[in-house]
Amino acid sequence: MRALMTKLEQATALDRTGDRLQRAVQATLRPQRVRDLLHGVFLGHPLHPAMVQVPVGAWISAAVVDLLPGQRRAATTLVALGTVSAVPAAVAGLNDWAELSRDQRRVGLVHAAANTVGLTLYAGSLVARLTGRHGVGRALAYLGLGAASAGAYLGGHLAYKQGAQVSQSVSELHRMGDGWRPVADLAGLPQRTLVTREVDDVSVILYRHGDEVTVMLERCPHQSGPLGEGEVQEIDGHACVVCPWHGSAFRLNGGEVVHGPSATDQQILPTRVVDGTLQTRLP
Ligand code: FES
């Protein structure tokens, strides 16, 4: 299975279809507010994995209820719930998928295809049940569960092996030692300008506003883009750093994400000034 997944990650034959679909998704899912909602910016976590709990839960429950006598109505209700709720979950997933790296998009494309097959089989199951053909409905539902399970396996690979929509920055903290570390001479720090520094080999950005200085991890939580090369923009009255790779924006006075594709906040580090030297440490 591992060799198969490696081949899938490297399957360049999928890129033409993937690139077309990516352009179509980016052209369709607008404006930015809608994309942010679907990414889960308001939650501080990706929305897609939370949304899929509903169809997965409903479909698995239907598979159990289908084994019990006299439960046709309950099974039909569960299949309907799963089928309807899978649609917005798929839209949120497509929105995340369109901002992934190429190797992730290849696996994501097959993940989406497997789930589309599953959803189609469940839709057929629902129609069969509503027209009184419960045996056919049951068979289609079990086939749908098989396809959705394959999709779930690919989704797990995408998240846990390839790190899609998982914060890429927070593991940087594991490379920092305990205790306060000197990071800059406060007097030499320019106002309202991003400055990049290293703390124990961990890259951070500094942003001075008056006597307040923000120290933030430099690696973007979305796909490790260099925030130190990003722009500072005023968004909703707050100074934010905008990632140069895909445009995620984070408040410089707290690290909260204000625009995706990142759904997670960026880590801010505590600061203090001792004898004119700015120091920082682990949170
Ligand atoms: S790396 Fe994608 S938004 Fe920063």
Q: State yes or no: pLDDT of 211 exceeds 90.
A: no
Q: What is the pTM of this model?
A: 0.93
Ligand 1, pocket-test mutation among 26, 166, 223, most atoms within 8 A of CB = 223
Q: How far apart, in Å, are the Cα atoms of 271 and each of 19, 125, 149, 181, 188?
A: 43, 59, 47, 9, 16
CB atoms under 10 Å from CB of 246, counted, come to: 17
Residue 14 pLDDT: 98
User: What's the CA-to-centroid distance between 168 and ligand 1, angstroms?
Assistant: 10
Task: Please give the average per-residue pLDDT across 185-201, as a whole number.
Answer: 96
**pLDDT, tens digit (0-9, with 9 covering 90-100), for 73-121:** 999 999 999 999 999 999 999 999 999 999 999 999 999 999 999 999 9
Give the tokens for residue 59. Answer: 């479909």
Which percentage of the chain shows pLDDT scores above 70?
100
Which percentage of the chain shows pLDDT scores above 90?
99
User: What's the CA-to-centroid distance between 259 and ligand 1, angstroms?
Assistant: 11
User: What's the CA-to-centroid distance between 105 and ligand 1, angstroms?
Assistant: 15
| Ligand 1 neighbour 249 (Cβ under 6 A) | no
Residue 7 pLDDT: 97
Ligand 1, pocket-test mutation among 243, 258, 264, most atoms within 8 A of CB = 243
- Taking the C-alpha atoms of residue 81 and residue 84, their distance in angstroms, rounded to an integer, is 5
Residue 50 pLDDT: 96
3-state secondary structure 185-244: EHHHCCECCEEEEEECCEEEEEEEECCEEEEEECECCCCCCEHHHCEEEEECCEEEEECC
Mean pLDDT computed over every residue of the chain: 97
Task: Please give the average per-residue pLDDT across 206-227, as a whole number.
Answer: 96
